[in-house]
Amino acid sequence: MTVFETIRNRRTIYEFKPDPVPNETIARILESAVWAPNHKLTEPWRFIVISGRVREKLAAVYCRIQREKTRSDDPEVLETATRKGYAKFMSKPALVAVICRKDPEPFRAREDYAAACCAIQNISLSAWEQGVGMQWSTSAILTDAEALDLLRIDPETEEMIALLYTGFPALIPEQKRIPATERTAWLD
């Protein structure tokens, strides 16, 4: 696959096969992240690969958030939210959190966030090249105090900018885009 083909074919994946993604594969994917462009070589990122006991605890946080979203105190509604939330969260074979350092200077913070997003694109493209799919999630869990505490992220100095649900695709959705020709001005 050429870089263009990988870019063109990559899709956000929502349904995964249950097969685990080997740690070596994840490690190789993350190696591509740190080669993203970053201004002043701030390398503002770090990554947390979540599994085992921590994943179970994070699933409990996810379920609590799902219960809160219902705005209900009906035990049946809450029980359904918990059950569905747990099944959904645990259907993601691997979880990778992307953490971006917070710079106190707004311009630098913006550049660092942009660089960390480039790192995420590197991750998702090199994953795709290896047959691994991802969903970039920006759900409420990213800023949840309990989740941040569990993952040892200090919200004063760092931000979780993505939780990447990761695994081998069970279903590859179709997507559409407006052609670049319709979004491009050539000024001469």
Ligand X SMILES: Cc1cc2nc3c(=O)[nH]c(=O)nc-3n(C[C@H](O)[C@H](O)[C@H](O)COP(=O)(O)O)c2cc1C
Question: Which CB atom, from 122 or from 135, has the smaller least distance to ligand X?
Answer: 135
User: d(Cα 126, Cα 37) in Å, to the nearest integer?
Assistant: 15
Give bridge partners of residue 48 from the DSSP assignment: 97
In whole angstroms, how close is the CB of 128 to ligand X at the nearest point? 10
Contacts of 98 (CB under 8 A, 6+ apart): 33, 45, 47, 116, 119, 120, 123, 160, 161, 162, 163, 164
23: closest CA among 118, 132, 142, 149? Answer: 132
What are the residues binding ligand X (CB under 6 A)?
11-12, 135-139, 175
For residue 103, the 8-state DSSP code is P
In whole angstroms, how close is the CB of 163 to ligand X at the nearest point? 8
Question: Which CB atom, from 100 or from 148, has the smaller least distance to ligand X?
Answer: 100
Question: Which CB atom, from 139 or from 157, has the smaller least distance to ligand X?
Answer: 139
Distances (CA, A) of 10 to 50, 65, 176: 23, 30, 12
| Residue 49 burial (CB count, 10 A) | 17
In whole angstroms, how close is the CB of 10 to ligand X at the nearest point? 7
Question: Which CB atom, from 91 or from 137, has the smaller least distance to ligand X?
Answer: 137
In whole angstroms, how close is the CB of 187 to ligand X at the nearest point? 28
Question: Which CB atom, from 38 or from 128, has the smaller least distance to ligand X?
Answer: 128
At 139 the three-state DSSP class reads coil
